[in-house]
A and B are shown apart, each in its own frame.
Chain A
Amino acid sequence: MELKSNIPDGPLEQKWDKHRFDMKLVNPANKRKYKVIVVGSGLAGAAAAASMAELGYEVECFCYQDSPRRAHSIAAQGGINAAKNYRNDGDSIRRLFYDTIKGGDFRAREANVYRLAQVSVNIIDQCVAQGVPFAREYGGLLDNRSFGGAQVSRTFYAKGQTGQQLLIGAYQALERQIGLGKVKMHTRHEMQELIVVDGKARGIVTRDMVTGEIESHMADAVCLGTGGYGNAFYLATYAKGCNGTAIWRAYKKGAAFGNPCYTQIHPTCIPVTGDHQSKLTLMSESLRNDGRVWVPKKAEDCGKKPSEIKEEDRDYYLERKYPSFGNLAPRDISSRAAKQVCDAGLGVGPGGRGVYLDFQDAINRLGASTVAAKYGNLFEMYERITDDNPYKTPMRIYPAVHYTMGGLWVDYNLMSTIPGLFVLGEANFSDHGANRLGASALMQGLADGYFVIPYTIGNYLAGHKPDKMNADQPEAKAAAAAVQDRIGKLLAVNGKSTPTDFHRELGKVMWEHCGMARNEKGLEKALELIPEIKERFWKDVKVGGSGDELNQSLELAGRVADFIELGELMCMDALQRRESCGGHFREEWQEDGEAKRDDENFAHVAAWEYKGEGQKPVRHTEQLSFENVHLATRSYK
């Protein structure tokens, strides 16, 4: 397998401009002859589908939800970065580029990240033109805030619902194209297989989730905007339906999987209450601006009410360990520190997996009404879920999985190692390296959908003759038969444990051994346990109902089967990456408790190639070269 990044030559600032000129164009009159499939209708998928339809391509879009508006991009709270420099505070495209490269712990491509920073300004313009109601100042101009530790104010936001508003903007653009007949929308359809003909991606096999019908859809190119795979951990801040099936099926058809071990764990989530827990809820990171994080110093105090624990018996561990950043230490650092104190038996709440986030000092200093004005909606949300009042008693928080930086490997054109298969947004291995900065996920999804794929798809299609291929192709028939076969097998097992039982079991293994801190022994243990779970799954899973009806148990079973395999690859990748970088912390590689990168041996992307059932996948590497930034060590002490 050859990994050709196809990064244009020339100076960094001119690469995208030059590339746009060098790329081939499709004649406007010919565009309607090409059909493009888009899977997923979140920020990346909806933006791509709408934009390509506006250009004149025939587009078919698929989502598993009942409406494209429900994609999980909708849950993003904080904001979206753009190098507008509206604050006159020294921001620039270069600064956004640098912050993103550094935030990713120098494990992303310079050229991709620079392009992301360049188009970030166009995204804000586009969204405002669509009617996205960003926060404004009294003069009527757009407001900004600082976010995620950036030293400039470059984050645009719409209350605490930025993702919702951006997605509704993209959704409305998509619905407009649906109304015009330019996009054919297939809701409640789940991609089950990729169809590859003569080495090119030519279609997908879907299951109609209402009727159970297996359908083949053919096209001239396929775009996946299907999101991340954090639900491999079972408990995560993802929506329940988020899954890795689309990218996993593509991987098994030959698309390389980039950096599967890079997952982001967010420090401020509401802790688990019991085995019944089905998902975790994020509390905005902004709370750490005024909240102080602590645990009791003595294990015997952990069961007491927080108000009964004296000031001198509290350990404000972030302030102690990172005096200059304190409670605002970055996500990966804060998450690991919480795990360490809980591992030491000092955690609070059920199961001892929680730390306090205390607003008492802020309330004393600023007054309850000022605190309410800043965080009132978050306090209310917290109380609704936990029945605790954060004005009176500290919040309990614990880290949770909420983003995957890894994903299918793509070149500069967002094309995977399968020609004609493009991957957008969180589904690709992306521009975030080993750690994503706050307010950058929305930026990347929309950059890929609105401003990258509409150009690069043309370059691919210009070299491909539209042939209206139909689903009678042997490859299409074989793919559909494989899907039928798999569903038949899932239903036929008729064992004793539900898909959720296996999902929960997998999640525990992943969280224990491939979570916030990883080590060789643990990963090797996980690599023994996961194949065993897989074997048991196919012998003992119990799926209720049948295949030719709306069957949520069957849907979940298929997703869990893929998560088990994907989880194994994540552990393999984590084992092979013998360094600590960003969200990937290997206990063997640390210095004074901090992550220790190995630039000499690991300044590369790991891209895994599927070699067949029962075969070990092969790890390929794409060397990252840094010509415009200096590889520095991140320190927050």
Chain B
Amino acid sequence: MEKHLNLTLQVWRQKNAQDPGGFKNYEAKGISTEMSFLEMLDVVNEGIIKKGEAPITFDHDCREGICGACGMVINGRPHGLRERTTACQLHMRSFNDGDVITLEPWRASAFPVLRDLLVDRSSFDRIIAAGGFISAPTGSAQDANCLPIPKDNADRAMDAAACIGCGACVAACPNASAMLFVGAKVSHLGLLPQGQPERTSRALDMVAQMDAEGFGTCTNHGECEASCPKGISLDNIAMLNRDYLKASLTYRPEVESGGF
């Protein structure tokens, strides 16, 4: 049944990367329980714009939980309290009349705040560019059924590939580690025969980039899996560790010519 809520929002406002930022309170009145969380923010923003002020800025796009654009810390939890849910798929019926809701951006040095709740996640793109791919230039592929893949491996690869790159894992981690994100990609590609030729360099290059971006290391808190809207498993971190260790032991640097 539709109800209407009066809420108080404590929102992190920060004009740009240089601004120190701070919390500001907003009243959200008459919010329908049928609204999504982001629609509630839309309503608040319409009021702010009508006052001539800059609206609360946050990333969002598909609003159906698949693009990975949205993400904010809601009452201390990335994407809010509901499990396996992106902020855009959270609905106001999860809240009660009179609630005070605190909204913060992802907090990680590798995700600098650009404005309010919106952060720069381009470090994730650079990690992918460092090795999160299979080199298969357009046109070079053989027939798709030439290489059978055991169903189980294909399914596990799919589970890892379901990562939406939202960054909640980093925001939830006390070390701001990106190991779940990197592990998911290393698993996705490493479980497939097509991913084998670059498996060694992939693990090394992605981890090197992850370190260079300033992400922390994994100390097995498991907060990442708990806050992941797609339920990406910690097993992927185990696979990354295995691949990385193996790669570190077997890696041979490229030589100028010949080799042995």
A306 to B124 alpha-carbon distance, docked (Å): 48
> A175 contacts B128, CB within 8 Å?
yes
> A126 contacts B192, CB within 8 Å?
no
Chain A residues whose CB sits within 8 angstroms of the CB of B141 once the complex forms: 122, 125-126, 128-129
Chain B residues whose CB sits within 8 angstroms of the CB of A187 once the complex forms: 122, 125
A597 to B123 alpha-carbon distance, docked (Å): 53
Q: A133-B154, A175-B133 are in contact. Are A141 and B148 (CB under 8 A)?
A: yes
> A136 contacts B125, CB within 8 Å?
no
Give the interface size class of chain A. 35 or more
> B59 contacts A176, CB within 8 Å?
no
- Let me know if B239 is at the binding interface, CB within 8 A: no
A172 to B161 alpha-carbon distance, docked (Å): 12
- Let me know if B57 is at the binding interface, CB within 8 A: yes
- Let me know if A130 is at the binding interface, CB within 8 A: yes
Q: Scoring B residues 209 to 249 as 1 if CB is less than 8 Å from chain A, else 0, what string do you get? A: 00000000000000000000000000000000000000000
- Let me know if A450 is at the binding interface, CB within 8 A: yes
A279 to B48 alpha-carbon distance, docked (Å): 21
Chain A residues whose CB sits within 8 angstroms of the CB of B138 once the complex forms: 47, 50-51, 54, 126, 173, 450-451, 454
- Let me know if A146 is at the binding interface, CB within 8 A: no
**Minimum distance in angstroms from A108 CB to a CB of chain B:** 25
A136 to B59 alpha-carbon distance, docked (Å): 35
**Minimum distance in angstroms from B90 CB to a CB of chain A:** 9
Q: Scoring B residues 50 to 76 as 1 if CB is less than 8 Å from chain A, else 0, what string do you get? A: 111111010111111011110000000
Q: Scoring A residues 134 to 146 as 1 if CB is less than 8 Å from chain B, else 0, what string do you get? A: 1111111110000
> A549 contacts B66, CB within 8 Å?
no
- Let me know if A323 is at the binding interface, CB within 8 A: no
Q: Out of B16, B46, B155, which one reaches A500, CB within 8 Å?
A: B46
> B144 contacts A70, CB within 8 Å?
no
Q: Name B138-181 residues within 8 Å CB distance of A.
A: 138-145, 147-151, 154-155, 157-158, 161-162, 164-165
> B122 contacts A553, CB within 8 Å?
no
A419 to B138 alpha-carbon distance, docked (Å): 26
A128 to B139 alpha-carbon distance, docked (Å): 12
- Let me know if B7 is at the binding interface, CB within 8 A: no
- Let me know if A385 is at the binding interface, CB within 8 A: yes
- Let me know if A184 is at the binding interface, CB within 8 A: no
**Minimum distance in angstroms from A384 CB to a CB of chain B:** 6
Chain B residues whose CB sits within 8 angstroms of the CB of A404 once the complex forms: none
A137 to B64 alpha-carbon distance, docked (Å): 29
**Minimum distance in angstroms from A493 CB to a CB of chain B:** 12
Chain B residues whose CB sits within 8 angstroms of the CB of A384 once the complex forms: 85, 89, 91
> A544 contacts B53, CB within 8 Å?
yes
Closest B residue by C-beta to A281: B64
Chain A residues whose CB sits within 8 angstroms of the CB of B39 once the complex forms: 276-278
A437 to B59 alpha-carbon distance, docked (Å): 32
- Let me know if A375 is at the binding interface, CB within 8 A: no
Chain B residues whose CB sits within 8 angstroms of the CB of A241 once the complex forms: 61
A129 to B49 alpha-carbon distance, docked (Å): 48
> A126 contacts B151, CB within 8 Å?
no
A95 to B111 alpha-carbon distance, docked (Å): 50
With most chain A CB atoms within 10 A of its CB, the pick from B15, B52, B134 is B134
Q: Scoring B residues 88 to 132 as 1 if CB is less than 8 Å from chain A, else 0, what string do you get? A: 010101000000000000000000001100101110111011101
- Let me know if B32 is at the binding interface, CB within 8 A: yes
> A273 contacts B32, CB within 8 Å?
yes
- Let me know if B255 is at the binding interface, CB within 8 A: no
A500 to B55 alpha-carbon distance, docked (Å): 13
> B115 contacts A549, CB within 8 Å?
yes
**Minimum distance in angstroms from A53 CB to a CB of chain B:** 10
A193 to B189 alpha-carbon distance, docked (Å): 39
A451 to B140 alpha-carbon distance, docked (Å): 12
> B66 contacts A138, CB within 8 Å?
no
Q: Name B1-48 residues within 8 Å CB distance of A.
A: 2, 15-16, 32, 34-36, 38-39, 42-43, 45-46, 48
Closest A residue by C-beta to B128: A175
> A84 contacts B135, CB within 8 Å?
no
Chain A residues whose CB sits within 8 angstroms of the CB of B59 once the complex forms: 66
A316 to B233 alpha-carbon distance, docked (Å): 44
- Let me know if B188 is at the binding interface, CB within 8 A: yes
Chain B residues whose CB sits within 8 angstroms of the CB of A501 once the complex forms: 46
- Let me know if A304 is at the binding interface, CB within 8 A: no
**Minimum distance in angstroms from B58 CB to a CB of chain A:** 8
Q: Name A481-501 residues within 8 Å CB distance of B.
A: 494, 496, 498, 500-501
> B114 contacts A210, CB within 8 Å?
yes
Binds B, one of A26-34, A159-167, A564-572: A159-167
Closest A residue by C-beta to B63: A279
Closest A residue by C-beta to B145: A141
Chain A residues whose CB sits within 8 angstroms of the CB of B143 once the complex forms: 125
> A543 contacts B49, CB within 8 Å?
yes
> A158 contacts B133, CB within 8 Å?
no
> A545 contacts B32, CB within 8 Å?
no
With most chain B CB atoms within 10 A of its CB, the pick from A50, A543, A552 is A552
> Contact residues of B with A, CB < 8 Å?
2, 15-16, 32, 34-36, 38-39, 42-43, 45-46, 48-55, 57, 59-64, 66-69, 85, 89, 91, 93, 114-115, 118, 120-122, 124-126, 128-130, 132-145, 147-151, 154-155, 157-158, 161-162, 164-165, 188-189, 192, 194-195
> Contact residues of A with B, CB < 8 Å?
47, 50-51, 54, 65-72, 74-75, 84, 86, 122, 124-131, 133-142, 158-159, 161, 164-165, 168, 171-173, 175-176, 178-179, 185, 187, 210, 239-241, 273-274, 276-279, 281-282, 384-385, 387, 450-451, 454, 494, 496, 498, 500-501, 542-546, 549-553
For the complex of A and B, the 9 pairs showing the least CB-CB separation, nearest first, are A140-B148, A545-B54, A179-B129, A129-B141, A172-B133, A125-B141, A544-B49, A129-B136, A133-B158
What are 16 A-B interface contacts by the 8 Å CB criterion? A75-B64, A86-B145, A129-B194, A130-B194, A137-B151, A159-B162, A179-B130, A241-B61, A276-B42, A276-B43, A279-B63, A282-B64, A385-B36, A385-B91, A544-B49, A552-B55
